[in-house]
Structure formats: C-alpha cells, structure tokens
Structure 1
Amino acid sequence: MTIGPGDIYWERFGHNALVIRDEQARTEIAYNWGMFDFNAEGFWPRLARGRMQYYMQGFPASDWLGVYRRANRDVWVQAVSLTPSERLELQVLLTEMDTDANRHYRYDYYRDNCSTRVRDALDRVLGGQIRMVTEGTDTGATYRWHTARLFQPVPLAYAGIQFVVGNRGDETISVWEEMFLPLRLREHLGDVRIVDAEGQPGPLLGEAVQVVEAVGREPIPLAAPDLRLPLLLLGIIVGAFF
C-alpha cells in the first residue's frame, strides 16, 4: 500500500505499508513503520534534529485505508509476487516485529524511515535480490533535491531540515537509497524482476490500483525550486540577530 503526500510537513514524503492477507485467519493487516508519540519526552527537539523514536504497528487494513480516505490522500495497492514460503517468512517476520520488544527504532529522514523499512523487509525475504539490482544504479538526484522538491509548500520546514541533511544531502543517491520515498519505492520496485521458485524471472509487483483518489490536492512537484536566494536572505536576517 502506497500513500501520497499529506498536508503536514512530516507527511510530505508520503507513506506506505505492507499488507498481509491471511485467508485462513480471515485477516488483512497493514503493517507500517510510521508511528510516533507526540507526548514522548523531547519529541519536538528530536523531530527538529531528525532523531525521533518511531515504531511499527499493524492495523486492520480497512481501518488504515479509512484514515487516508478521510485525510484526502491518494492510495494505491498492488500485489507483491512472493512464493508461498516467502509470504510465510514475511508474515512471521512482521508478526515478530509487531511486539513491544522489537517495534521501536531510531528514525532517520533518509536512511531508516517507514519506506526503507518496507524495502528492507521485502529484500530480506527475497534473499537480497532487490538490493543487488538497485544499489549500483545512480539516480542523479540527491537527498537535498528531493527534500526541496517535496517541501515546496512548507519552505520554513525545508529550511530547518537543511541542518539535518548536512553534507551527505549533496551526494547523488542510488536507486536503492532513493527508495526512502514511498512513491519512488513503488516506482523502482515496479522495475525489479526477481527469480521465482522455479528459477524463472518475473516482475516483483503486480499492477497498481488506485483505491483512493485525493480531491483538489496539488500535483506532486516534479522538480525542485531554486531556493538559493531565499535561503541567503534568511541567513542574512538570522545573522543580523546573532
């Protein structure tokens, strides 16, 4: 399940989840790694520094879908082509993660977030096939470029995140790294071909079906604005007070 960007600045990257349908148990659980506690001690300072404590949790998929329908956010679903043993391994893995002992992790905007956790879980049950075919391909994009592109509606938040990005934000990233963005994860996994139990290559993902279409939401920006002048002026203003 892939969710488009929302209105609040921490929703600008979009979101995603892995949905496990158990026909025998008649359950459909959406596991996502985007949970956090506003009331946790030091939450806001850690949020500003990109050092939050996040956790994963499973919810009934229908309830989770309703959350994003009410939030007027785009939602796509598509099947992942796994063998029966891989599906079982993924289900066991997610069930084990969805416990108090294992659910928490230290969030990183780019290298350890809700989307990279989905990527890594799939890559684990596929024996590293995703990483093998994506890590060596350069996208030509950078973390900073993507941040500027997606944070155009909230420029003050973008300016603050620059302190988190640092120098690493200007290095070009691989396809593997670019999957920190849920929509890029969906796009790139759509290009991945894996080897099935019979040794035959085939697409990892099935066709994407849009189950919720946002109404009146601005299109996702395709390019980053040139913010050098605004940031220079902001630096001059801030410097005048210190």
Structure 2
Amino acid sequence: MPLKKLLYILLFGFSVLGFAQAPELTPLSKISVVTCGPGSELYSTFGHSAIRIEDPSLGINAVYNYGTFDFTTPNFYMKFARGKLDYSLARQNFAYFLKEYEYENRWVKSQELQLTLAQRQSLFNFLETNFLPENRDYKYDFFYNNCATKIWDVLKEVYGDALVFDESYLNELYTHRQLIRQKVKINSWAGFGIDLALGSVIDDVATPKEHMFLPDYILKQLEVAQLNGQSLTARPKVLLEAKDQDQGSSFLVSPELWLIVFLVVILVLTYFDFKNNTRRRWLDFILFFSTGLIGVLILFLWFFTDHSATAGNYNLLWAFPFNLFIAFVVALKKGPNWIAKYAVLLAGLILASGVFWMFGAQEFSPLLLAVWAALIARYLFLFWSYHKPKIA
C-alpha cells in the first residue's frame, strides 16, 4: 500500500504532462467547491471560485482553478485590453492555494458536494481531461464565462439534467451594473472607471443564472441546488477567516472630492475669464483633449475589442471623440466662429446624456454630475466668448 500511494503521489505531481486516464478515486475522496472572499486589489475585488479534490489514500489534495492566465503570452497587454486573452484551467496544491489567501487576508469557505463515488470519479475525469494542454484554455468573459460561472457549467456538463437550478434564494434580481456595485463602491476610482468603460448593455436585469458571475452567488446557488432530488452540498465550512481591517478609504483621495475641486476650479477660472474678457486657451485645450481622449478610448473598447460589456456606451455623448482634434483649434488665439455652435452642440449632448440616464437607457456614475456641470459652464462661456470681437 505505501508503494502504491507513493506511485499515485508522483503520478499526480507530474500530471501537468496529462493523464492517459485519471486515477481511480477511493471511498475516502471528497470534492468541494471553494469560494474565496474579496481582496484589496481590483482584480480580486469580486472574489474567486475553484474546485477542490481530496483523496488522502492517493495523496491528492488539489484545487482546479479557472481564473489564471499567462503573463508570458505574446502581446499580453494588447490581448488583455482587447479581450482576446485566453484564460486557463490551472491545478495546484491546495495548501499553497490556501496560503496565498491567508497572505492576502481573504476568507475561504468550502462546500462539500454530496456525491457518490461514481459521481466524484466522473467529475474528476472531466477536470483531468479539461486540464490537458489542448483543452485547458478558454475564452474569458467577465459576466458570462469566468471562474465562478465555470463551476456551474462544469457541474452541468458532468451531471446534465440531474442537476437542478433553484433561483429561490434570490429575493430580487439586479442589473449587471448593480451587481458590480455590490462589490465596488461608486465613490472609488475603480468604480468611476468601471462606469466610464462599461456600456448600457450591463444595465439590463441579469437572469438568475447570470447572477452567478459573482462567486457569492454561486455559493448561494449551490446551497439550494439539487442533484437527483437531493441537496447538492453540505453546509459551507469556513476554512479561513479574514482578520478585521479598516476598510474605510479617505475622502481626501476619493473621486467625489477631486471632481468637486475640478468643478470649483473650472467655475472660478471661467468667471475671471468672463469678467476680464479673456480666455485661457490652455484650459480649453486640456478640457477638449481629455474629453476627446476618453471618447476615443470608449470607441476603442466598444468597436475594437471582444469585451461584451463595453458596447452601447453613451458616455460618448459627453466624452465626444472629435474633441481630441478640436482641442488644437480652441488652442488658437483666433479660432473659427463655428466653435461657438460646436460648444452649444457639446452642451446639448451633455443634456442628452442626462435624458438617457433619466429614461433608463444607461446608468451613469453620479460623480459625473460635477464633470458635466463644469463642462457646460465652459462650453457656454466659449459660445459667449466667440461672439466677442476680441479674445485675449
């Protein structure tokens, strides 16, 4: 028996080369779904899900993780930005996996799947086949194909109609944006950036199954799901608790404060320009160039990437891409008179953004109100100033 156990340990340890056939699990084996709490970095804000397989008789204690990618991939950053980066199924020793989350001070919970030995073997075989080099890569999608959605997809693939989804745990259905905001604060730079980058397509109400892109929801679903009429999982077991830490962020570094400062600065400078019949051309250049650049980035994310969540982004209305070029026109001491009409158009587009928001076409970040107010004030000043005979 010791020799057989050692053989299995060596075989499992070097299985990155792939099994011709997965080892036969013993009655002591267990399979569980592991859910990990959020971390402090943006990439870990939403938590994580994985599948753990244990068999002490074979020396197996591994976690199968669909949330990995290869930094050495050619053109990594461009592929990442364009949504063309493949994610992979990885397998690692569970002790190392748990140690990583302990270091990051993140809680870890485990839900043991109530499976027969044959059912455990079927799932193990599937994961081992999926782990083969020719099978392990997949097209990642933040909402529809990530580490959490993969858990249910794998279980459904293995157990078919015997696995029954149960949406009774949901008291309310949320939009995809609302689900994101459950994890990312609106008044944070990450939340502000997400609201700028993601389009109106995420303001639809997510189906019960689509809620499972968040690990918290796959955990809740597994608690009520059934396999062959029986509960799929035992009660969640806490493997690691996060230590209490001060999660409060200083208002001094919040986008709300700095966007209010931005509004005040623009209003003060515009007031003195109006009072003195002058125009700070450098200020207009910065405003036009920055809003135009944001618009170009939004266009890029919408039309030139595979990200499903960046389509239909009406932030283009106020972050008008043509501003990137008009910036060099308003920087001139004597620009063309049509700039006055262009400024009115821009102010109108901002008002249109508000109308789109009001009628539910897209949920904008409330932090944009300060930006919109500043831009409208400056655009109306430009309209006035280009009707003056002289502009300093």
SS at match of 1:10: helix
- Give, as a single letter, the amino acid of the residue that structure 2 aligns with 1:123: K
SS at match of 1:125: helix
Find the aligned partners of 1:208 and 1:134 in 2 and give their Cα distance: 18
Comparing 166-175 with 36-45, greater Cα deviation is found at 36-45
Greater strand proportion: 1
Pairwise mapping of residues 130-141 of structure 1 onto structure 2 (< 5 A)? 130=163, 132-134=165-167, 139-141=172-174
The one of 370, 379, 384 aligned to 1:233: 370
Structure 1 pair 131–204 and aligned structure 2 pair: CA distance change class (3 A): closer
Q: Alpha-carbon deviations, 1:1-58, whole Å to 9, x = none?
A: 1100011101111001100113442211100111123343444454455543211111
Find the aligned partners of 1:99 and 1:159 in 2 and give their Cα distance: 40
Find the aligned partners of 1:38 and 1:236 in 2 and give their Cα distance: 42
- Give, as a single letter, the amino acid of the residue that structure 2 aligns with 1:213: E
The one of 77, 98, 106 aligned to 1:65: 98
Q: Tell me, yes or no, if structure 1 residue 53 matches structure 2 residue 81.
A: no
Comparing 42-51 with 4-13, greater Cα deviation is found at 42-51
SS at match of 2:366: helix
In structure 2, what is the equivalent of residue 214 of structure 1?
Answer: 242
In structure 1, what is the equivalent of residue 67 of structure 2?
Answer: 34
Instruction: Tell me how many residue pairs correspond in the alignment.
Output: 228
- Give, as a single letter, the amino acid of the residue that structure 1 aligns with 2:136: R
Find the aligned partners of 2:181 and 2:102 in 1 and give their Cα distance: 26
Pairwise mapping of residues 1-242 of structure 1 onto structure 2 (< 5 A)? 1-48=34-81, 50-130=83-163, 132-134=165-167, 139-152=172-185, 155-162=188-195, 165-195=198-228, 201-217=229-245, 228-234=365-371
What's the TM-score once normalised by structure 1's chain length? 0.82
SS at match of 1:110: coil
Structure 1 pair 46–81 and aligned structure 2 pair: CA distance change class (3 A): same
In structure 2, what is the equivalent of residue 198 of structure 1?
Answer: none
Find the aligned partners of 1:20 and 1:116 in 2 and give their Cα distance: 19
Greater helix proportion: 2
- Give, as a single letter, the amino acid of the residue that structure 2 aligns with 1:214: A
Q: Could you say which structure has the larger radius of gyration? A: 2
Q: Alpha-carbon deviations, 1:148-206, whole Å to 9, x = none?
A: 221118833333334654232111112211111111100111011221xxxxx221111
Find the aligned partners of 1:174 and 1:58 in 2 and give their Cα distance: 31
**Alpha carbons 1:139, 1:174 under 8 Å: kept:** no
Q: Percent identity?
A: 27
SS at match of 2:213: coil
What's the TM-score once normalised by structure 2's chain length? 0.52
**Alpha carbons 2:164, 2:227 under 8 Å: kept:** no
- Give, as a single letter, the amino acid of the residue that structure 1 aligns with 2:115: L
Q: Which has the higher contact order (CA 8 A, sep 6+)?
A: 1
SS at match of 2:174: strand
SS at match of 1:150: coil
